[in-house]
Chains A and B, each alone.
Chain A
Amino acid sequence: MGVFDDPFDPTGRPWSCPCGRHASVAEHEAALTCEPVAADVDALTARTVETAVARAVFGTETRRRAFLGLVGEATAAAALAAAFPLAAAREAFAQAPRRIEKRDLKVGFIPITCATPIIMAHPMGFYAKHGLNVEVIRTAGWAVIRDRAINREYDAAHMLSPMPLAITLGVGSAPIPWTMPAVENINGQAITLANKHRERRDPKDWRGFRFAVPFDFSIHNYLLRYYVAEAGLDPDRDIQIRAVPPPEMVANLRADNIDGFLGPDPFNQRAVFDGVGFIHILTKELWDGHPCCAFAVSREFITQNPGTYHALLRAIVEATAYSSNPANRREVAAAIAPQNYLNQPVTVVEQVLTGTFADGLGRVQRVPNRIDFDPFPWHSMAIWILTQMKRWGQIRGDIDYAQVAEQVFLATDTAEAMRELGLSPPAGTKRTHVIMGRTFDPADPEGYLASFAIRRV
């Protein structure tokens, strides 16, 4: 104890060596210090795993000693290894402590409820939980988010699920290998019509209508085209489709610049909230479980920062699972509604996420899966999107559907992340989808394409 230390503090350092065997306190402490451990992380990890297993098997120290004394060290280890896959456990553990190359990340998003997992992971701490310091940045429109992502101003971004495919194929921008490790939301879009069209609910009567969709490369564009084409209208000739950033849709509807839009929420609900339009049909009625928005990163980012990518994907998948739980939806709505994120009235966001909503026609509808969140990027979804890109002339010539799908939709990574987080990913990566009663078989995209009467190929 030094002369300036409090002599009346019972927990203070002692006057002299407490055990009496050393000349001074410093010598006593030096003698008690552990030997430096060899920095062989692998060996240490293996030892930690063994200890954990042994502890679980023996339970108490007395039993452990008794057993080891009885059979000997080597036999005990062999017996344990026979009953428990020690080697596999050691290996699984050795992979876990990954180095995060880049901790401070910028992730861009468009203020819509589709981006819920990307956004809510910030206020609800999912990024921080996986060791990342993420800044989520609200962005003006899809072209801007694409350009900023390509310019590396963003490390990762919220995109529409056709966008990584379009960027990889070089449609609408220079070709850059882009990937989509997770879908954000399924369903959750709607066709909203202006109030004056209350009596014209049949798409056959929509000749001459002007519609808005968020972007050319969007599931919204393809679903709207599909929907009117099934009713016998040619989307390029009989109606007009414009790309309008989601936030401007309601204002355009109010100003009578458009007759309706197939857009993301909260803007469908916002149109109802402000008395401008009504919800004609939810996209879930067209294709239940359709993918919409996605979490996208460049192939380059994954190669350069594998550890960061690993952590980021887990944060996103975990946030997606949390958002999917109906019990959490109100809490999530309250977290993402403020000005820093969506900048919308809480009740509007809540109606979208809980599925109890006013439809603009005087009824309260209850559709709990109006929007849902499921990270698994089915390759068959990518193939469907590619067939529609080809159907409407966005891509020409022959493409290898399955190869592009596998290259961009990183289903294996998603499945691995889901398993690690205790979720159960599906076994395959392709399945048939039913869209407006028509079955899509991913094994035969060309045949599916040829089955449409209205197409540009």
Chain B
Amino acid sequence: MRATRPAASLALACLLFALFVGAWQLSSSTGFGTAEVADPEYAALVGAAAATGGQTPFPSPFEVAARLWQHLTDPFYVRGTNDQGIGIQLAYSLARVLAGFTLAALLAIPLGFLIGMSPLLYGALNPFIQVLRPISPLAWMPLALYTIRDSSISSIFVIFICSVWPMLLNTAFGVATVRREWLNVARTLECGALRTAFRVILPAAAPTIMTGMRISIGIAWLVIVAAEMLVGGTGIGYFVWNQWNNLSLADIVTAILLIGVIGMVLDQILAMATRAVAYQE
């Protein structure tokens, strides 16, 4: 890839954004009907668009920006069980993702290590992994609700089950593909098995493991929104469902933007960690 001028990229990004907002503004201003409603009593009982024979249109960029500003200036309010600020909802979701992800890492990394080092174990467990891996994590939800009998722990379980596979497979792959020469060198130096594992294999496989973790956290963040929409109660997914309930699209767009930003931050944190353990052969 040739080096590009950052200023030009930025200008193009701004232009694209402006075009997008402009198109959005144009499309959201239609929807009002043309019919005249004679009865003012009727008009007072329905929305502005319905009064003229149309449908309530998609919110304009300015309405969304106003809602976004409202949410960002007061993110942590609590006005009862069912009415809490967007910051609190995001914190609930993040806590669930981190809990499920940590549990998954605690299981997947040691297990992946074993599988990677032992071809026998790899052969034995591989069929199970291949069958379980492609299952949508949300398909586990009814089963989890039925057996765990707690909706909050069920959503943590769903995060766990969706983030365990990439970490497990990547760890196993990273461990299995450590260069033969390095292992042989360790053996000629008479390193013990543990010492080889921690001083040779772990550093060699670390970038692959970190890549697995990065994929996992991305999936976990994707899944939590859907899981919370299913079980409700708290979290950003529930917030989206709740605003959908109220057909308040401006709030949904706000939430979508924030979900994207948080997802990007999570990804960048793990990208930095990956760079920290990377090495040059």
Contact = CB atoms under 8 A, between A and B. Distances in A.
Interface of A: 111, 135-140, 144, 147-148, 151-153, 247-248, 250-251, 254, 270, 272-276, 338-341, 343-344, 347, 351, 356-358, 360, 362-364
Q: Which 8 residue pairs spanning A and B have beta carbons closest together?
A: A275-B50, A140-B232, A247-B245, A340-B83, A340-B80, A358-B45, A151-B149, A274-B56
B87 interface: no
B5 to A, nearest CB: 44
Contact of A274 (B55, B230, B245): B55
Contact of A364 (B39, B50, B79): B39
Nearest to B32: A275
Interface in B30-58: 33, 37, 39, 41-42, 44-47, 49-50, 53-56
Contact of A347 (B45, B151, B238): B45
A351 B53 contact: no
A338 B42 contact: no
B238 to A, nearest CB: 8
B45 A343 contact: no
A187 B187 CA distance: 81
B162 to A, nearest CB: 20
A272 B246 CA distance: 14
A140 B79 contact: no
A139 B231 CA distance: 8
B102 interface: no
Contacts of A273: 45-47, 50, 56
Nearest to B50: A275
A251 B150 contact: no
Given A144-B232, A274-B49, A340-B82, 20 more contacts: A111-B245, A140-B229, A140-B230, A140-B231, A152-B149, A153-B149, A247-B245, A247-B246, A248-B244, A250-B247, A272-B50, A274-B247, A340-B83, A341-B82, A351-B45, A357-B45, A358-B42, A362-B37, A362-B39, A364-B41
Given A144-B231, A248-B244, A275-B49, A363 B42 contact: yes
Nearest to A151: B149
Interface of B: 33, 37, 39, 41-42, 44-47, 49-50, 53-56, 79-83, 145-146, 149-151, 229-233, 238, 241-247
A360 B79 CA distance: 34
A341 to B, nearest CB: 7
B46 A272 contact: yes
A275 B45 CA distance: 11
Contacts of B39: 362-364
A151 B231 CA distance: 13
Nearest to A174: B146
B234 to A, nearest CB: 10
Contact of A338 (B83, B150, B151, B244): B83
22 contacts: A137-B233, A144-B230, A147-B145, A153-B149, A247-B244, A250-B247, A272-B46, A273-B45, A274-B56, A275-B49, A275-B53, A276-B56, A339-B82, A340-B82, A340-B83, A343-B242, A343-B243, A343-B245, A351-B45, A360-B50, A363-B39, A364-B45
A136 B47 CA distance: 29
A153 to B, nearest CB: 7
Contacts of A357: 45
Contact of B47 (A111, A275, A338, A356): A275
B229 A364 contact: no
B245 A364 contact: no
B53 A137 contact: no
A347 B44 CA distance: 9
Nearest to B43: A358
Contacts of A151: 145, 149-151
A356 B44 CA distance: 12
B79 A340 contact: yes
A140 B233 CA distance: 8
Given A140-B241, A364-B45, A254 B55 contact: yes
A107 to B, nearest CB: 10
Contacts of A137: 81-82, 233
Nearest to A138: B82
A360 B46 CA distance: 9
A41 to B, nearest CB: 36
B272 to A, nearest CB: 36
Interface centre among B232, B238, B244 (most CB of A within 10 A): B232
B219 to A, nearest CB: 22
A139 to B, nearest CB: 6
Nearest to A247: B245
Contact of B50 (A248, A274, A356): A274
Contact of A270 (B53, B80, B231, B247): B247
Contacts of B83: 338-340
Contact of A275 (B55, B80, B146, B238): B55
B246 A344 contact: yes
A183 to B, nearest CB: 24
A298 to B, nearest CB: 14
Contacts of A138: 81-82, 232, 242
Given A136-B81, A275-B47, A363-B42, A153 B55 contact: no
B275 to A, nearest CB: 40
Contacts of A347: 44-45
Contacts of A276: 55-56
Contacts of B151: 144, 148, 151, 153
Contacts of A364: 39, 41-42, 45
A148 B246 CA distance: 23
Contacts of B244: 247-248, 251
B149 to A, nearest CB: 4
A357 B49 CA distance: 17
Contacts of A144: 151, 230-232
Interface centre among B37, B46, B229, B233 (most CB of A within 10 A): B46
Contacts of B41: 364
A140 B46 CA distance: 26
Contacts of A147: 145-146
B254 to A, nearest CB: 14
B50 to A, nearest CB: 3
Nearest to A359: B42
Interface centre among B41, B42, B44 (most CB of A within 10 A): B42
Contacts of B44: 347
A360 B245 CA distance: 20
Interface centre among B42, B45, B79 (most CB of A within 10 A): B45
Contacts of A139: 232-233
Nearest to B243: A343
A135 B42 CA distance: 37
Nearest to B52: A275
A151 B144 CA distance: 12
